[in-house]
């Protein structure tokens, strides 16, 4: 059998179930660390519940993903996860979900591994969101998850530092309300949870910003100003309704068209 014939015959098995995101639909890709609890607590022993070095590795990975060939409108990271909102008109790889997931998971794994100096693996999943309101809801959801994880983490490690076992610490927190956890942490650490750094409670967001850069014409020697783009890190993200409006504003400013009715 000639190559062209067998190539055509076999390609169908790779592409028969290719799924493409429909035009006009917002795409959010979330990448998550695989077995990161073991990686960060047992293998490399990052500081618990939060470690600035780990945070910076995640931000470096996020910045890499925003510069690796996709038009990323907004990037967000909390804990061991990253969420990427792609431009509404993104057409890279024909909007194939398998390409988006495999490439972004691979890029994240490679970049974080380089920062860590060890093998680290991410997986990825695509959310197809048909409205701007759902995009806002998605990032509001991840922000609330960050707040919940931060409160639980601070309480859990306060108990562990008192000598409780992992099971005892976990059992002690079961069924406690948010108010009770806040009060518990204050009694143990004498620090109000409101005073915990915002990046721990709300995550970190990355957006694009324009800036003016001085330039010189190499032929004439004349000076001029060129507009460039760079990534801006938001370590003090707002929360709740203010965060919803923040995300909405980022999308509206960055996306050329928004579907009717939004």
Tens of pLDDT along 7-61? 888 888 877 778 999 999 999 999 999 999 999 999 999 999 999 999 999 999 9
Contact of 142 with 76, CB cutoff 8 Å: yes
For the segment 219-254, what is each residue's pLDDT rounded down to a tens digit? 777 887 888 899 999 999 999 999 999 999 999 988
Residue 223 confidence (pLDDT) = 82
Q: Could you report the per-residue pLDDT of 154-189, keeping only the tens digit for each?
A: 999 888 988 999 999 999 888 889 888 888 777 776
Rounded mean pLDDT of 100-115? 98
Q: List, in sequence order, every beta strand (DSSP E) within the chain.
A: 26-33, 72-78, 81-86, 122-129, 204-216, 223-234
**pLDDT exceeds cutoff 50 at 262:** no
116 pLDDT higher than 90: yes
- Residue 257 pLDDT > 50, yes or no? no
Domain extent listing, the chain = 3-149+196-202
Q: In the prediction, which pLDDT does 191 show?
A: 66
Distance CA 121, CA 202 (A): 24
Q: Are 34 and 123 in contact (CB under 8 A)?
A: yes
pLDDT at 255: 64
Question: What pLDDT score does 78 carry?
Answer: 97
Distance between CA atoms of 153 and 193, rounded to whole angstroms?
12
Q: Dihedral, CA atoms, 174, 176, 181, 185, nearest 10 degrees?
A: -50
Preceding peptide of 49 cis, ω within 30°: yes
Average pLDDT over the chain, rounded to an integer: 91
What is the phi/psi pair of residue 34, to 5°?
A: -95, 125
220-233 burial code (b ≥16 CB/10 A, e <16): eeeeeeeeeeeeee
Which pLDDT band holds residue 259 (cuts at 50, 70, 90)? very low
Residue 153 predicted with pLDDT over 50? yes
Q: Say what the pTM is.
A: 0.89
Per-residue pLDDT band at 193 (split at 50, 70, 90):
confident
Lowest-confidence pick of 88-97, 160-169, 202-211: 160-169
Report the C-alpha dihedral over residues 75, 81, 86, 92, rounded to 10 degrees: 130
- What is the crossing angle of helices 166-173 and 132-161, to 10°? 130
CATH fold for domain 3-149+196-202: Alpha-Beta Plaits (3.30.70)
3-state secondary structure of 173: helix
Q: E strand or H helix at 168, and its extent?
A: helix 166-173
Quick check: 71 and 93 in contact, CB under 8 A?
Answer: no
Question: DSSP class of residue 220?
Answer: T
A 10 A CB-CB count for 77 gives 25
Helix, strand counts (H, E) of the chain: 9, 6
Q: Give the CB-side neighbour count of residue 215, counting CA atoms within 13 A.
A: 11
DSSP 8-state symbol, 87: P
Beta bridge partners of 85: 28, 74
């Amino acid at each position: 059998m000639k190559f062209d014939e067998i190539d055509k015959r076999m390609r169908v098995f790779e592409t028969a179930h290719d799924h493409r995101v429909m035009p006009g639909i917002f795409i959010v890709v979330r990448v998550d660390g695989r077995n990161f609890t073991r990686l960060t607590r047992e293998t490399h022993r990052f500081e618990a519940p939060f470690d600035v070095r780990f945070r910076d590795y995640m931000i470096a990975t996020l910045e890499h993903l925003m510069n690796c060939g996709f038009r990323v409108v907004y990037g967000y990271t909390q804990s061991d996860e990253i969420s990427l909102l792609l431009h509404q008109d993104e057409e890279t790889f024909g909007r194939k979900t398998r390409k988006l997931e495999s490439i972004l998971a691979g890029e994240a794994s490679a970049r974080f591994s380089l920062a860590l100096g060890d093998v680290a693996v991410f997986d990825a999943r695509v959310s197809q969101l048909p409205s701007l309101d759902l995009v806002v809801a998605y990032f509001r959801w991840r922000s609330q998850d960050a707040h919940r994880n931060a409160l639980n983490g601070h309480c859990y490690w306060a108990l562990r530092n008192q000598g409780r076992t992992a099971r005892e610490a976990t059992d002690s927190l079961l069924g406690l309300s948010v108010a009770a956890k806040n009060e518990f942490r204050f009694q143990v650490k004498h620090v109000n949870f409101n005073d915990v750094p915002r990046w721990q409670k709300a995550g970190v967001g990355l957006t694009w910003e324009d800036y003016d850069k001085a330039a010189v014409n190499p032929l004439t020697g004349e000076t001029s100003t060129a507009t460039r783009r760079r990534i801006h890190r938001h370590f003090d993200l707002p929360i709740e309704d203010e965060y919803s409006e923040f995300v909405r504003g980022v999308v509206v400013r960055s996306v050329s068209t928004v579907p009717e009715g939004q």
